[in-house]
Amino acid sequence: MSARGLVWSAGVVLAVLALLAALLVASALPAGYDFRAYWLAGRHLLTGAPLYPGPDTILGLPDEFRYLPAVAILFVPLALLPYEVALAIWTALQVAVAAVVGIALIRPLPPSWRPWATAGYVFFLGLVLEVTLGNVNLISLALALAAWRLRARALPAGVLLAAAVGLKFLPFNLLLFYLAAGRWRPVAAGGALGTVALVASAVALPDRTAEYVRFAPRLLEQDWVYAHIARPGPPALAAIFWSDAFPLALAAASVLVAVIAGVAARRDSSNENTWHALTLATAGYLAPFGYFWTTFLILSLPLAADALRRAAARASRERAAIVGAVALSWLLMEPQEVGTLVPILWHLIGVLLLCATAVLTLVRPSAVPLTLSDSRARTTP
């Protein structure tokens, strides 16, 4: 067997072990913890029960729904089913979406690298949490990636982009990126469709819309996040992470990254995929206290895949350095320990390291020209 074959075989073994490890971790987590809130929201629409916590209710409790009323409508079909059946269907959907996203990200890599990348993908803590708990971040990410793939076609890209942002505001910065990149048509189409959907939802569900308007400002409060996260120390980190300025600074930085990346993508269309992935990786920091939510780290996966794709075109030393940096960033985003802010610091450093690595691959030209994907050939404006 050739050396490349041995590398591939070792990667397959590692991928199988990673999958088993992911299943083991998932078995220790509360399955459907987040999904139950969506399922109950659908039920509350059917029964007329309040959709959002009342003004005297502490935020951050289990089964709390925090999204637009239109999102709750999407879960009405599942709400008609018993919870166990609905959870099984939702989990199967999450696994399918994870598989599709994983294939899309890993397929451009060299064949001998794919099993290794698959191992890192399936045992990525943010992804394991996302699929097991049943949130909608992964679906929002998949919609955003699909919109980018169809970016030259304003209407379908706009529909997908509006769905990605409407489902969860998580990838909102992509709108700024598209505009700065000169791709305003998908944003205009998505904005028009989103406005129609919001108006229709408000007309169809006026009481629920008023309920949301009263509830939404409370999401910006720090007290409920502090109680929900339950990470009081160490004091040196608490002084930073729990300050009023830090989340605002990160939010401003994420907006700045989106705009700068969009301008860069407009000037250098050959690298626009990387700039788009960079915007995605930092988009979660726009959300209030977004750096606390481990599942948001899945937004960094496209950038990691892009960096590995670029590493394949480098000389051996540079390739090893890039792959090592991506692997280190992966390791930094893996720790999870309750009661302390230290893992949050590692996660943040991991994202910053990955972003810096990606930017360096753009600044330093590749020795071997990168092969343009079919998606880029179809999407040249």
**Residue 103's CB: how many other CB atoms inside 10 A?**
12
pLDDT of 4: 80
pLDDT of 369: 55
pLDDT of 379: 40
Fill in the DSSP letter of residue 233. Answer: B
Beta bridge partners of 147: none
pTM for this predicted structure = 0.93
Query: Phi and psi for 181 in degrees, rounded to 5?
Result: -85, 0
Report residue 288 as tokens.
Answer: 């209030």
Distance CA 271, CA 275 (A): 7
E strand intervals along the chain: none
Are the beta carbons of 169 and 287 closer than 8 angstroms? yes
pLDDT of 341: 93
pLDDT of 370: 56
Listed residue (17, 22, 113) closest to 307, CA to CA? 113
Distance CA 341, CA 338 (A): 8
CA 209 to chain centre: 26
Coil, strand or helix: which one is 205?
coil
Rg (CA), the chain: 21
Query: Phi and psi for 340 in degrees, rounded to 5?
Result: -140, 150
Low-confidence ranges of the chain (pLDDT < 70): 1, 365-381
Crossing angle of helices 245-267/272-283, nearest 10°? 170
Listed residue (128, 146, 171) closest to 330, CA to CA? 128
- In degrees to the nearest 10, what's the CA dihedral of 259, 216, 77, 35? 80
- Is the preceding peptide bond at 234 cis, omega within 30 degrees of 0? yes
Distance CA 184, CA 194 (A): 15
CA 54 to chain centre: 29
Beta bridge partners of 340: 233
What Å distances lie between residue 367 and 64, 106, 330, 376, CA to CA?
A: 52, 22, 26, 21
Q: Where along the chain do its domains lie?
A: 23-378
Beta bridge partners of 233: 340
Listed residue (63, 137, 139, 160) closest to 293, CA to CA? 137
pLDDT of 232: 82
Fill in the DSSP letter of residue 336. Answer: -
pLDDT in tens, 59-88: 888 899 999 999 999 999 999 999 999 999
Report residue 261 as tokens.
Answer: 């990346």
CA 231 to chain centre: 23
Question: In the chain, what's the furthest Cα-to-Cα distance?
Answer: 67
